[in-house]
Copies of this chain bind each other. A is one copy, B any other.
Amino acid sequence: MFNKLCIIGVGLIGGSIARAARKHNLCKEISAYGREQDSANLLRAQELKVIDSYSFDLTEAVAGADCIVIATPVGAMPAIFKQLAPYWSDKALYMDAGSTKGNVVAALQDVFGFIPANFIPAHPIAGAENSGVEAALDDLFQNRRLILTPAEQADPDFLFVAQEFWQTIGSDVSLMSVEQHDAVLAATSHLPHVLAFSLVDLLGKKDETVDIFKYAAGGFKDFTRIASSDPTMWLDICMANKEQIIPLIQELCTELQGINQMLEQNKTQELYDTFTYARNARQRFLDQYQ
């Protein structure tokens, strides 16, 4: 499919894209770009044969690449786009792998004055609380959803190649608008992460004065798994998509105040109905997920 794939940011996602591309013979060569402070991770990526080469010089890393994937935290993308612009190739497919899309498109607009027709924004809905190339897996995207949010002016040929790339590595590809993507992900991913971080922040402070974590069980472990996610990545996501996240946090607080009222006023039937509705709604999610 490609001669040279260049991965910008070889973490869990970038490393897994490289591994999957190699497994499915989608490219002959894989180069990578990273910052000098990430040299240990890049060296490890090369040792693990996730990538063939790396450079701290972006121009060198992307030279001759016909597919470039930007898999850095979303906050780093504007700077990457600026660096890429002078060497932009109209023959290469460019994709990002960020969890938010509005800010990616806005950054492209900022740098280029338009969205390049060969840039196809992509979001693989896969991940783990582990980070870095050591955690990368060649089947991370297998049977996972992937959303592409192509601009109206996107080149259909590049869009087709992008779809094929992700489908070949096992993803179930959906197309949607940038706005729809950011609204959906704010609800199903960003809000739960903020909640998990908030709860563990609150309880962690209590645990410092009175041992409480000692008596926490499996439910707590699963519920808080996503609070072990990378803080830098999640800071970027939250800042990038705050227009969507802020009103959802507000809605959840209103919901929680409603629960408090049911408790205070002994509205047991209402509380039972809420819990039952939630249980059934989760079953609806599970039926689709499995």
Instruction: Give residues in A with beta carbon < 8 Å to B.
Output: 125-128, 144-145, 147, 174, 183-185, 187-189, 191-207, 210-229, 231-232, 234-235, 238-239, 242, 245-246, 249-253, 255-257, 259-260, 263-264, 266, 268, 271-272, 274-286, 288-289
A171 to chain B, nearest CB (A): 12
A251 to B215 CA separation, bound complex (whole angstroms): 20
A105 to B214 CA separation, bound complex (whole angstroms): 24
A130 to chain B, nearest CB (A): 12
* Minimal Cβ-Cβ distance residue in B for A283: B228
Measured between beta carbons, the chain B residues less than 8 angstroms from A286 are: 221, 228
Measured between beta carbons, the chain B residues less than 8 angstroms from A210 are: 183-184
Q: Is the CB of B215 within 8 A of A184?
A: yes
* Minimal Cβ-Cβ distance residue in B for A128: B218
A125 to chain B, nearest CB (A): 5
* Minimal Cβ-Cβ distance residue in B for A214: B288
Q: Is the CB of B213 within 8 A of A288?
A: yes
Q: Is the CB of B263 within 8 A of A200?
A: no
- Some 21 contacts from A to B, beta carbons below 8 A apart, are A127-B217, A127-B219, A187-B206, A189-B216, A192-B220, A192-B224, A195-B256, A197-B259, A197-B275, A197-B278, A202-B255, A204-B282, A204-B284, A213-B288, A213-B289, A214-B288, A216-B285, A219-B229, A222-B226, A238-B271, A246-B260
Q: Chain A interface mostly helix, strand, loop or mixed?
A: helix
Residue of B189, B202, B228 touching A282 (CB-CB under 8 A): B228
A272 to B233 CA separation, bound complex (whole angstroms): 10
Q: Is the CB of A272 within 8 A of B220?
A: no
Measured between beta carbons, the chain B residues less than 8 angstroms from A221 are: 285-286, 289
Measured between beta carbons, the chain B residues less than 8 angstroms from A276 are: 231
Q: Is the CB of B219 within 8 A of A193?
A: yes
Greatest chain B CB density within 10 A among A201, A250, A271, A278 is at: A278
A219 to B196 CA separation, bound complex (whole angstroms): 10
A280 to B227 CA separation, bound complex (whole angstroms): 9
A229 to B276 CA separation, bound complex (whole angstroms): 9
**Known contacts A188-B213, A221-B289, A283-B228, A201 near B245 by CB under 8 Å:** no
* Minimal Cβ-Cβ distance residue in B for A258: B198
Given contacts A194-B259, A231-B276, A249-B260, 11 further A-B contacts (CB under 8 A): A184-B215, A188-B213, A192-B219, A198-B278, A204-B282, A204-B284, A216-B285, A219-B225, A223-B226, A239-B263, A249-B256
